Structures are given as structure tokens and as C-alpha cells.
Amino acid sequence: MTRILGFWRSVVGKKVVMGATGLIMIGFVVVHMLGNLQAFLGSEKLNAYGALLHGPLHEVTLLLRGVLLAAVVLHIVAAVQLTLLDRAARPVGYARKVPQAATPASRTLRLGGVLLLAFIVFHLLHFTTGQVHPEFIPGDVYHNLVSGLSRPLVALFYIVSMLALGLHLYHGAWASLRSLGAAQPAPSPLHRPVARVLAVVVWLGFTIVPVAVLLGWLA
């Protein structure tokens, strides 16, 4: 226990926790994106998928919710603590041995993280509990999805949030692998093909849903 606490208190420990929890969330996001795309197969398919998660697989869903919640909390706590440590230790900055490119994604990582947190809170109240969804019908995932995203302002919020998710993943996927020792520092953002492909696929895979509702492809 003392060793685990000591590891958590170290900068390396916090980075490893951020990397590992980041990878857990990436796994969830990819599976969730594939689940959402079933909307294009029709309301029966999407609702059957939802019924499976909340019926026969309910215990698995509860377990995954617990893991995901723990991952989100640890990820945020580690991020805040690393930011504070970084500010305290480096008031004027230092020269790096290996030049590393600053990308729009890395600059907006923290801001994007805050937007994503706000998105997740709204999203759960919107599609899971229905508190902020005026036409919410428990169990009718397809109806909730289409009627919820038919409101242009709500759809726009989803579209902007998915842009933040793409940028966050672009930087975060690569940083996760680095923190876990599976990738080397890259002098150019173009040296991060896995993160780039992942970010674009996830961004497109999620964004296509609100766009399709706005264009009337899903109704």
C-alpha cells in the first residue's frame, strides 16, 4: 500500500496513471462509437443493442461504469496535480534536449479536457438519465438519440465537443503511449500516425451521428 501511494505521489507515477486511464477511456470511446453507428442500421438494431447492455449484460455494464468512473476521476486528479507541480517547478520554463513540436492539440489539451468534462456531464443527463431531454423515453435509445440531436444548438454542442475529443485523443493517445514507455519523443507531429488515425476515425465516427440527424438521414 505504501509503495502504491509512493508511486502515485511521484510525477512518473501520475503520468503512468494518466496514460493507463487514458487508454481505458480510448477503449470505451471506440466501442461506444461503434455502438452509436448502429443507428444507421435502424431503430431496432440500436434499441436491441441498448436492451442488451441494460438487460442480459447489466452486470457487465455496471462493472464497466465503475471502471470508467474510476478512470475518469484518476485521470482528472492526476492531470490537475501534474499541472500544479509543473507550474510550481517551472516558472520560467526549460530547454528540452529533444525538440518536441507544440501542436494545436497539445496547447488546447487542458481547455479541451474541461470542455469534455462538461460534455460528459450534459451527455449523461441527456441520453442516460434524460433530465435535460424534454422528449426522453426510457429504453428507446433511437428515439432519444434522434429527437435529442434534432435541436440544432444541442447538435452543435455535440459537434464542437467531438472536435475537442478528436484533438484531445490526438495528443492524449500519443502521450499515453509515451508515459507507458511504448513510444519515443517525436520531433514532429507527423511522427504520430497511430494517434492521428485514431483521432480522425473517432472524430468522424461520432460527428457523423449529429450531422446525419441534422441532415435528416436519421429520422
Least separation in angstroms between residue 56's CB and ligand HEM is 13
Pairwise CA distance, residues 143 & 3, whole Å: 50
On whether the CB atoms of residues 135 and 183 are closer than 8 A, the answer is no
Q: Of 8, 26, 30, 36, which lies in the binding site for ligand HEM, with binding defined by CB under 6 A?
A: 36
What is the phi/psi pair of residue 101, to 5°?
-75, 135
Least separation in angstroms between residue 198's CB and ligand HEM is 13
Least separation in angstroms between residue 196's CB and ligand HEM is 18
| 3-state SS assignment for residue 3 | helix
* Residue 84 in grid coordinates: 500544479
- Within residues 68-127, the interface with ligand HEM by CB under 6 A covers 120, 123-124, 127
On whether the CB atoms of residues 200 and 162 are closer than 8 A, the answer is no
On whether the CB atoms of residues 68 and 32 are closer than 8 A, the answer is no
Closer CB to ligand HEM, residue 49 or residue 174? 49
Pairwise CA distance, residues 136 & 50, whole Å: 14
Q: Of 17, 162, 173, 199, which lies in the binding site for ligand HEM, with binding defined by CB under 6 A?
A: 162
CA 101, 19, 26, 165 dihedral sign is: negative
Q: What is the dihedral of CA 108, 114, 118, 123, to 10 degrees?
A: 60
Closer CB to ligand HEM, residue 38 or residue 179? 38
Binding part of the chain for ligand HEM, among 81-89, 98-106, 157-165, 192-200 by CB under 6 A, reads 157-165
The residue nearest ligand HEM at its CB is: 50
Q: Of 16, 18, 145, 173, which lies in the binding site for ligand HEM, with binding defined by CB under 6 A?
A: 145
Least separation in angstroms between residue 82's CB and ligand HEM is 20
Least separation in angstroms between residue 194's CB and ligand HEM is 19
- Within residues 196-215, the interface with ligand HEM by CB under 6 A covers 206, 209-210
* Residue 97 in grid coordinates: 534536449
Which residue ranges make up the site for ligand HEM (CB under 6 A)? 29, 32, 36, 50, 53, 61, 65, 120, 123-124, 127-128, 141, 145, 158, 162, 165, 206, 209-210
